[in-house]
Homo-oligomer: A and B are copies of this chain.
């Protein structure tokens, strides 16, 4: 099967298109940026683009396709967003009705693809700086929570900010703020740390999405805006059809993580 971690992004995408790879992409094509996907029809595209522009921390756009085009030209010129993700979810009127490995037959001439940065990108430099990441240590999904921080509304799109949480020491939190500030294209700096109830989280041990992780003595929870926000918000407005990647099954782009750093 080859070593997925060291394969180039186009090689992995080719295996995905052939449906050799059909599951989560974490750790594949190390160093290449992975992205969340949201597909909407043109009628909602302006409002959703405006929503992302107004909420850059939770909705960091890496690429948006021309209406009707399935080519994410900015981040992977030869890719096809209808085939190059291992697993898709189809939402009709806000309900997840199907999970498929190719959306060619679902594609319509006025669809627009939104590719959004994901926290995989900043977790690599955190690890390289010696900051342990609990959900990786505990081999589970990152814990995510709905907060009382409302997104800036745009047209029909509105809703609360969803955050991901990583527990760490105070010293590591300072370094993590510095490192993630360098990556505004993938959520950037944290939006809160320390007191979950202040942002509307009643019980830190009960995430709304993902898995609960251990918070050790002396550690504080650090919260980043999360790419689940735009999906949750788009779903809430119940468009007749919306397509997303399945959790963990991301789009692997041709750009390198380090290219997204600003300093």
Contacts and interface: CB of A to CB of B under 8 A. Distances in A.
Interface of A: 42, 45-46, 49-50, 52-54, 61, 64, 66-67, 73-74, 152, 154-155, 178, 181-182, 184, 188-189, 262-263
Contacts of A54: 64, 74
Given A53-B64, A182-B263, 18 more contacts: A46-B49, A46-B67, A49-B50, A49-B53, A52-B53, A53-B53, A54-B64, A54-B74, A66-B154, A67-B155, A178-B263, A181-B263, A184-B184, A184-B262, A188-B262, A189-B262, A262-B262, A263-B263
A154 B67 CA distance: 10
Contact of A49 (B49, B181, B182, B184): B49
A45 B155 CA distance: 13
A112 to B, nearest CB: 9
A54 B62 CA distance: 9
Contacts of A61: 53
Nearest to A65: B50
Contacts of A74: 54, 152
Contacts of A155: 66-67
Nearest to A54: B74
B181 A262 contact: yes
A178 B178 CA distance: 15
Contacts of A73: 152
Contacts of A178: 263
Contacts of A64: 50, 53-54
A222 B46 CA distance: 35
A9 B136 CA distance: 48
Contacts of A52: 53
A39 B181 CA distance: 32
Contacts of A263: 178, 181-182, 263
A118 to B, nearest CB: 18
Contacts of A182: 263
24 contacts: A42-B46, A45-B46, A46-B49, A46-B67, A49-B49, A49-B53, A50-B64, A52-B53, A53-B53, A53-B61, A54-B64, A54-B74, A66-B154, A66-B155, A67-B155, A73-B152, A74-B152, A181-B262, A182-B263, A184-B262, A188-B262, A189-B262, A262-B262, A263-B263
A77 to B, nearest CB: 12
Which 6 A-B pairs give the minimum distances between C-beta atoms? Answer: A46-B46, A49-B49, A181-B263, A50-B64, A53-B61, A45-B46
